Structure formats: C-alpha cells, structure tokens
Structure 1
Amino acid sequence: MAPRIAVLGCGYWGSNHIRTLKGLGALQAVSDADHARAERIAKEHGVEAVAVDDLFTRSDIDGIVMALPAQLHAQMAMRAIANGKDVLVEKPIALTVEDAEAEVKAAKDNGRIFMVGHVLRFHPAFEKLMELVKSGELGELRYIHSHRVGLGKFHNENDALWDLAPHDLSMILALTGCEPSEVHGEGTATLDHLSDFAHLHFKFPNGIRGHLFASRLTPYRERRLSVVGSKAMAVFDDMEPFERKLALYNHKVWRNNNAWEFSMAEATHVKYEEGMPLTRELEHFIHCIETRENPRTDGEEAISVLRILTAGTVKHDS
C-alpha cells in the first residue's frame, strides 16, 4: 500500500500537490486554515478535509506535504515531526537558518524523512544536465549563471530573492557540489520595502564562480541556467519547448600567441526522458517514505540555501 499523505495548504501550489498525489494514489487528506476551502477541494478529490489542529495526530496519515506561507513552515514542520510524520516542506523551509537547523535536527532525532520542495532538481532536463557534468562532457566547470525573471508574484513577507532564488540555488549547489565561500548580494525595491530585483554573486572553494539574477518586475519571462565548462557550455532554458530545453554548445576558446581566439558551434539539443517535475518529486518523496532513504533534496540542502539567502540579503536601494 502506498504511503498515506496529507497536504497542508490548499492554495495555488498546494492544489498542484493535491492533484498530483491523487493521481499517484497516495492522497489521504487535505487541510487548510480556511476549512471551507479545504472541504471544497477534498470533495473534488474524494478525500477527507481535516482541521489543521487535528491533522498531526491522525494515525492514518504517514506524511505531510506543507505548502504554506514561508513564515509558518518551521512551526508546522516541527509539530508534524513531533507526531511521527514524514514531511515535504516547500521552499523556503524557514525564514532563519536557526529555525531550519532546528527542523532538520528534530527530523534526524525522531527518525523522520525531511524533504524540501526544490522541484527543479527533479526536472528531467536538469537531471540530464547533471549527467553531462558528471560524465565530463563539459570539462571542468568554470562559471554558472542563472536568470529567473518575470512579472509577479508579489508577497507581503518574501521579496524576489527569497521567493525566486531557492529554485536556482538548489540547482547551483547540486552542480558545484559545495556551498560558496563568498556571497555578495544587491537588491532594489521599487514598490515597497521588499526587493523586486536581486543579484547574487558567488565564489566557490573549488574555483567555480557564478551569479544569479531574480526579478518580479520584468516585462518578459526568463528561466535560464547556463553552465560554462572548459570543454563545452550548456543551457537549461525552461521557457523553451520540451525538445529544446537543454542545449549543448561546443564552442572553443584558445590562446594563439598573445591573442585569444574562438570558434562558435551550433547548439545541439540534448534528448532526455520526459516527465513532470512535480510528479517525479512526489514519487521520490513516496519512495523515501517507503525505503527510509535520505531524499535527494534533504534538509541539509535547504539549510545551505537559507545560508546563501541570508548572506545575500543586504540593504537595497529604495
């Protein structure tokens, strides 16, 4: 029998979790502070709507997916863990490193699965990019840059950096295999006191450099991660159609006497296995509950992302 999983938070992203878990045969219940909303969604999917205060002690629930406002994640995750539930917590798992560390420690002390919702780590194009890097297809990694920009969403608590950057930070950490030794951040607020634009610049102990640009006030959408290696370059562009999302460029740059020369190559679009990232993420969560395997996106990764976000949060222009 599949693990019995409840979803806490029936908003936009929580609804996606609910629909996907139902399709996987693992949805047991839904819950929300707005119980009427939970009841409507529960009826749509043929499951029970459980009051938030009753959710954690239910013996017929094995795991809980939490898609809540970020400021509630730590408190709710700790309640779930204390009651023996495995958890998948959406990003960011907390607003401070200290709260995140407390969550992860509680999960370890209680033998619970703790997974963070860094869904793009489960995108098949990114998984293929990881294969290219590990196989040496790109050579030695030199530079990584990511751009995640568009219009919205706007939150009362999270700025562009904290809302958008965790997706790319999780991928950058996976590619580099380590946390940056130096982080420099800049932010600009134009609507209120929260940054609408954010730049992060990184230096890693293995010599890799990188930058990240996130914006919620850009008139066009861009979802692009570029990786520059000593042999080739690759781009994961999530705005492209399926067959063009992952491109490999065998550009060449070399030194000829006292001058640099280069040659450009046409993009090769790399084939990869088709699949929906959220489905693959939740399948992994189910697998980890069943096997007690440590998740690919575990609590330690979530803490690393929070350390970078904290280091990159600086005074911004207003």
Structure 2
Amino acid sequence: MKPRIAVLGCGYWGSNHIRTLKALGALYAVSDVDHARAEAFAREQECRALTMDALFECAKVDAIVMALPPQFHAQTAIRAVEAGKDVLVEKPVALTVEDAERAVSAAKKHSRIYMVGHVLRFHPAFEALKALVDDGELGDIRYIHSHRLGLGKFHAENDALWDIAPHDLSMILALTGAPPLDVHGEGAATLDHLSDFVHLHMRFPGNLRSHLFASRLNPYRERRLTVVGSKAMAVFEDVEPWERKLALYRHRVEQENGHWTFTTVEPDYIPIEQGMPLTRELEHFIHCIETRENPRTDGEEAVQVLRILTAGTVRHPRAV
C-alpha cells in the first residue's frame, strides 16, 4: 500500500499537489486554515478534510506536503516531524537560515524524511542536462547563468529573489556540487519596497562563476539555464517545445597565433522523455518514504539555498 499523504495548504500550489497525489493514489487528507476550502477539495477529490490539530494527531497520515506561506513552514515542519510524519516543504522552507536549520535538525532527530519542493530538479530536461555534465560531455564547467523572467505573482512578503530564484539556485547547486564561496546581489524595487528585478553573482570552487537574473515585472517569459563548459555548451529553455528544450552546442573556441577564434555549429537537440516535474517530484517523495532514502532535494540543499538567498537579499526602504 502506498504511503498516505496529506496536503496542508489548499492554495494555488497546494491544489496542484492535491490533484497530483490523487492521481498517484497517495492522497489521504487535505487541511487548510480555511476549513471550508479544505472540505471543498475533500469532496472533489474524495478524501478527508482535517483540521491542523487533527492532521498531526491522525495516526493514518504517514507524510505531509506543506504549501503554506513561508513564515509558517519551519514551525509547522517541526511539529509534523515530532508527530512522526515525513514532510515535503515547499520553497522557501523558511525566512531565516536559523529556522530552516532547526526544522532540518528536528527531522534528523526524529528520523523523518525532510524534502524541499525544488520541482525543477525533477524536470526531464534538467535531468538530461545534469547527465551531460556528469558524463563529461561539456568538459570542465566554467560558467552557469540562469534567466527566469516574466509577469509573476506579487507577494506581500516575498520579493523576486525569494519567490523565483530558489528553483534556479537548486539547479545551479546540483550542477556545481558545492555551495558558492561568495555571493553578491543587486535588486531594484519599482512597485514598493520589494525587489522586482534581481541579479545574483556567485563564485564557486575552481573559479567557476554563475549569474542569475530573476524578474517578475518583465513583458516576456524566459526560463533559460545555460551551462558553458570547456568542450561544449548546453541550454535548457523550458518555454520551448519538448523537442527543443535541451540544446547542446559544440562550438569551438581556440587560440591561434595569439588570437582567439571560434567556430559555430548548429545545436544538437537532446531527446527528452516527457513528464510532469511535479508528478516526478511526488513520485520521488513517495519512493523516499517507502525506502527511507535521502531525498534528492534534501534539508541540506534547502539550507544552502536559504544561505544564498539571505546573502543576496537587497533591502529597500518602505515608502512612508
């Protein structure tokens, strides 16, 4: 029998978890501070609607997916693992590194699975990109840059960095295999005191450099991750159709007679197995619950991402 999983938080992203877990045959219950909302989802998905207290006390609930406002994630995750539940916590897992570390430590103390919802780590195109890197197809990685732009959702507490960048930071950390040595952030607040445009500059071991640009106030959508290696370059562009999402460029850059020259070639488009990242993420969560394996996106990664977000945050004065 599959683990019995509850979703805590029936908002926009929580509702996606609810429907996906239902399709996977693992949805047991839903819960929300607005109990009427939870009851509506329970009727629709034919599962239980539980209050938060009842959720933590229910012995039949094996694990909880948390899609709450981030200021509530840490304390709620601690309560869950103390009640014997495995957890998948949506990003950001906390608003401070200290709170994230407390939640991760609590999960370890109680031998519970702690997974963070960095869903793009489970995108088939990113998995194929990482395989190219791991297999040495790109050579030594020199530079990684990520652009995530569009007209995004505007939150009362989260700026573009904290709302948009965690997914890209998770992918960058997976490719570098190490946290950055230093982080520099620049932001612009055009609507209120929260940054709508963010640039992050990071330096990693081996002189690998990375740049991230995130914007929630942009007229067009861009979801592009570029990896530059000594042998080849690869681009994961999520707005492209499946057959063009991952491009491998075998451009040659050489030095001849004291001058740098380059030769360009048409990209090779890497075949990608189609699949929904959220479905694959939740399948991985179920697998970890069943096997007790450490998640691909575990608590340590969650803390590393929080450290980068904290180091790169630009504070803007509130309007008076």
TM-score (norm. length: structure 1): 0.99
- Measure how far apart 1:275 and its partner are: 1.1
SS class of match (2:29):
strand
Q: 2:57 aligns to what SS in structure 1? A: coil
8 Å Cα contact 1:125-1:236 kept in structure 2 = yes
| 252-261 or 170-179, which deviates more | 252-261
Q: Determine the C-alpha separation between the residues in 2 that align with 1:214 and 1:54.
A: 39
CA distance in structure 2 between the aligned counterparts of 1:200 and 1:173, rounded to whole angstroms: 14
**Where does 1:235-274 land on structure 2 (aligned, <5 Å)?**
235-274=235-274
- The residue number in structure 2 matching 1:9 is 9
Map 1:24-63 onto structure 2 (within 5 A): 24-63=24-63
Q: What is the CA–CA distance in structure 2 between the aligned matches of 1:222 and 1:49, rounded to whole Å?
A: 38
Kept after mapping to 1: 8 A contact 2:84/2:110: yes
CA distance in 1, matches of 2:259, 2:135: 31
- 1:88: which partner in 2? 88
Q: Letter of the 2:92 partner, please give it.
A: P
Answer yes or no: is the 8 Å Cα contact 1:186–1:316 preserved in 2. Answer: no
Cα displacement string for residues 181-236 of structure 1 (whole angstroms, at most 9, x for unaligned residues): 01000011011111001000010012210100000000111000000000000000
Distance in 1 (CA, whole Å) between partners of 2:128 and 2:279 is 17
Q: 1:84 aligns to what SS in structure 2? A: coil
Say which SS state the counterpart of residue 148 (structure 1) adopts: strand
User: How far did 1:267 drift?
Assistant: 1.0
* Alpha-carbon separation, structure 2, partners of 1:74 and 1:54: 19
Q: Number of matched residues?
A: 318
In 2: Cα distance, 1:110 partner to 1:53 partner: 19
Specify every segment of 5 or more residues in structure 1 that has no aligned partner in the other structure, as ranges: none
Q: For 1:124-143, what aligned pairs fall within 5 Å after superposition?
A: 124-143=124-143
Q: CA deviation at 1:317?
A: 8.7
Tell me if 1:281 matches 2:281. yes
**SS of equivalent to 2:68:** coil
1:38 alignment partner AA: A
- Distance in 1 (CA, whole Å) between partners of 2:54 and 2:195 is 37
Tell me if structure 2 keeps the 8 A contact 1:150–1:220: yes
CA distance in 2, matches of 1:174, 1:120: 11
| Structure-1 separation of matches of 2:123 and 2:258 | 43
Q: CA deviation at 1:258?
A: 1.8
> What does the per-residue CA deviation read over 1:132-151, in whole Å, with 9 as the maximum and x for residues that have no partner?
00100000000000000101
Contact 2:242 2:272 in 1 (8 A): no
Pairwise CA distance, 1:67: 0.5
| Structure 1: distance between partners of 2:38 and 2:111 | 29
Q: Does 1:104 align with 2:98?
A: no
Amino acid at match of 2:226: S
Q: What is the identity, as a one-letter code, of the residue corresponding to 1:126? A: F
1:196 aligns with 2:196: yes
Question: How far has the Cα of 1:316 moved from its partner?
Answer: 4.8
Alignment of structure 1 residues 70-219 onto 2, 5 Å: 70-219=70-219
Q: Is the 8 A contact 1:189 1:317 kept in 2?
A: no
Match of 1:230 in 2: 230
1:301 aligns with 2:301: yes
The one-letter amino acid of 2:196's match is D
1:267 to 1:317, Cα distance in 2 relative to 1, 3 A:
farther
Q: Does 1:314 align with 2:291?
A: no
Q: Which runs of 5+ in 2 are unaligned?
A: none
**Is the 1:188–1:317 contact (alpha carbons within 8 Å) kept by the matching residues of 2?**
no
Write the letter of the residue equivalent to 2:108: K
CA contact (8 A) 2:7 2:64 kept: yes
* Alignment check: 8 A CA contact 1:32 1:38 kept: yes
Once residues 305 and 278 of structure 1 are traced to their aligned partners in structure 2, the CA distance between those partners, rounded to angstroms, is 20
Aligned alpha-carbon RMSD (Å): 1.0
| Residues 147 and 224 in structure 1, CA contact (< 8 A), matched pair in contact too | yes
Cα pair 1:186 1:315 within 8 Å, conserved: no
Please list every run of at least 4 consecutive aligned residues from structure 1 whose deviation after the TM superposition is greater than 4 angstroms. Answer: none
Is the contact between residue 30 and residue 47 of structure 1 (CA under 8 Å) also seen in structure 2? yes
Cα distance between partner residues in 2 of 1:216 and 1:317? 19
**What secondary structure, in the 3-state scheme, does the structure 1 residue paired with 2:234 have?**
strand
What percent of counterpart residues are identical? 73
CA contact (8 A) 1:284 1:295 kept: yes
Letter in 2 for 1:96: T
Where 1:255 maps in the other structure, the secondary structure is strand
